[in-house]
């Protein structure tokens, strides 16, 4: 289910803006990426939409994801924010719409914003719905509200230093695909001796090994880069097959190092 419904790798656009963003998205599409990930919070939906339009690739061949920010979760506001996102993206629908973060302190009840999310899907404004940064307990609540099979993915931070195994297994039990953001731990994978040693054995980079490790677990990745060389090498990384010993060596790198941990984050479980 995962890789067919949700193409991997996707191209992440967090912290990219303006012409740099447009050129990066165009390069990714030219090289064969067909999944582009953006969000209201990134402030770059308009440029993402322009790049897709300029690429000449038919819209139906591109899997486009955006996310609703946590200050737009009350039902009327959520629906209005999606209309704004679609206008900026220059499309009448996205392929995946995510709740970017659960409502801080349950300020907006989950049943309210997930029901609104489902309504947006039923109106044809998104093909799939999902969540991001949801804990195991929050996923259970979400499934109680919407039922099994309603959510396509939980987009969470996963990299060799934060392996999030319990949450990944919980997603799998619910049939929810895992999408890993910050798969390269904002570049920290490049400095790790274990990853460097494995990379040498494969004539690859530590970044490619981190992506191959995720791919081998059936996890979708959305790495980001502004350099054509890296955008290409991130794609090639998924052709690498790691041995059991190499997978075990990477498993030993887990140190619970969470990078995305804003003050409104949920109580991680």
The residues carrying an active-site annotation are 42
Name the DSSP class of 159. B
Contact partners, residue 10, CB within 8 Å, separation at least 6 = 33, 35, 36, 37, 63, 65, 179, 220, 221, 222
Q: Which helix (H) or strand (E) holds 26?
A: helix 18-31
CA-nearest of 121, 264, 269 to 130 is 121
Rounded to the nearest 5°, which phi and psi values hold at 243?
-75, 165
CA-nearest of 29, 52, 15, 16 to 260 is 15
Strand segments, DSSP code E, in the chain are 11-12, 35-37, 63-68, 94-99, 126-132, 151-157, 177-181, 220-221
């Amino acid at each position: 289910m995962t890789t067919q419904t949700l193409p991997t790798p996707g191209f992440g656009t967090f912290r990219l803006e303006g012409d740099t963003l447009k050129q990066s998205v165009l390069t990714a599409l030219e090289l064969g990426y067909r999944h582009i990930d953006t969000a209201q919070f990134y402030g770059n939906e308009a440029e993402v939409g322009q790049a897709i339009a300029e690429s000449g690739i038919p819209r139906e061949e591109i899997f486009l994801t955006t996310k609703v920010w946590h200050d737009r979760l009350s039902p009327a506001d959520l629906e209005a924010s999606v209309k704004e996102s679609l206008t900026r993206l220059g499309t009448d629908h996205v392929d995946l719409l995510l709740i970017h973060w659960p409502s801080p302190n349950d300020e907006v009840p989950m049943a309210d914003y997930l029901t609104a999310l489902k309504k947006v899907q039923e109106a044809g404004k998104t093909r799939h719905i999902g969540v991001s940064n949801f804990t195991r307990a929050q996923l259970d609540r979400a499934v109680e509200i919407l039922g099994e099979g309603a959510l396509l993915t939980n987009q969470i931070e996963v990299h060799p230093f934060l392996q999030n195994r319990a949450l990944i297994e919980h997603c799998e039990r619910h049939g929810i695909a895992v999408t890993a953001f910050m798969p390269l731990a904002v570049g920290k994978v490049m400095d790790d001796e274990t990853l460097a040693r494995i990379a040498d054995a494969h004539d690859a980079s530590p970044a490619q090994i981190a992506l191959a490790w995720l791919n081998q677990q059936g996890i979708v990745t959305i790495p980001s880069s502004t350099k054509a060389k890296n955008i290409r090498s991130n794609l090639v990384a998924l052709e690498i097959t790691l041995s059991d010993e190499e997978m075990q060596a990477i498993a030993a790198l887990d140190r619970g190092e969470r990078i995305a941990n804003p003050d409104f984050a949920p109580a991680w479980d």
